[in-house]
Structure 1
Amino acid sequence: MIAILLAAAVAAVDLAARAWAKTRLPPEGIETGPVDLVLGYNSGVAFSLGADAPTAVVVVVTATITAGIAVAAWRVAPWGSRTLRAALALVLGGAVANLLDRCRDGIVTDYLHTGWWPTFNLADVAIVLGGALLVSSMWSREELSPPSVDRSHSAEGSA
């Protein structure tokens, strides 16, 4: 349940920030230090990959990937550690936010800019942080598979 709330919070905060950026961010942006606020749009996925692909194809592919992440999170929830569940929730929340934004007009709104990296958004940050947590959680052997099931009391084992 907490993982669902985390995913929903990530998506909600990012979508609210996008709405603010679209309506309130001045055309010249706002310098804030290492990460400036600059409005940008991406019709592709990460690093504008697939920007020339038909919008419907990009939406279907990203929706399929997002659904896969949701299924993985649902399947891991009963046995996964907090770290693993948090990682999947961050990735799912970011993916959902990007998908919902893309479904409106075929593009993703970005608003964070470093000057040396492509413009991105909070959903992208959540996806990257979730991915890093996912990788770090894999170092623990018990997090790689669900707990074993004791089959000694199954119908086949009883006489």
Structure 2
Amino acid sequence: MEPSADGLARAAAQGREQEVRALLEAGVSPNAPNCFGRTPIQVMMMGNTQVARLLLLYGAEPNCEDPATLSRPVHDAAREGFLETLAILHQAGARLDVLDARGRLPVDLALERGHCDVVQYLRAAGNTPQGSEPAGVTSAQTPPEVSDFADHPLGPY
């Protein structure tokens, strides 16, 4: 464990953007695990898009999985309804077609919590398990813009 990793993870978890920036600029790795084995992007304050952007800009891995739950940052963002953070993670390469330890996709978590805007984004992004995409949907497809879903009601499930 890197000595500054705990500090970066703590700053990310508390949404302290300036401290996150300073630690990253000082060379702290955005992928170094803290004393609990979690990286800053796994523990970041999900609603703080600036912290998410900073971590990703400095090379944070958007697809890191929790060893116990197999959840990834996109699972957390979808479950809590943070559409902008989810979109930032997705645009940085986060996969939306991965299952957590309980066999749930990010869209399943958003549905469980009633986050209709997140569900709509995930469905428009082609959120299907790997290898079962409908014809014409590829991982290289441009993700939808968050603004495309801000004022549109979600159709029937």
TM-score by length of 1: 0.21
Bigger radius of gyration: 1
Q: Which has the higher contact order (CA 8 A, sep 6+)?
A: 1
Structure with the higher helix share, 1 or 2: 1
TM-score by length of 2: 0.21
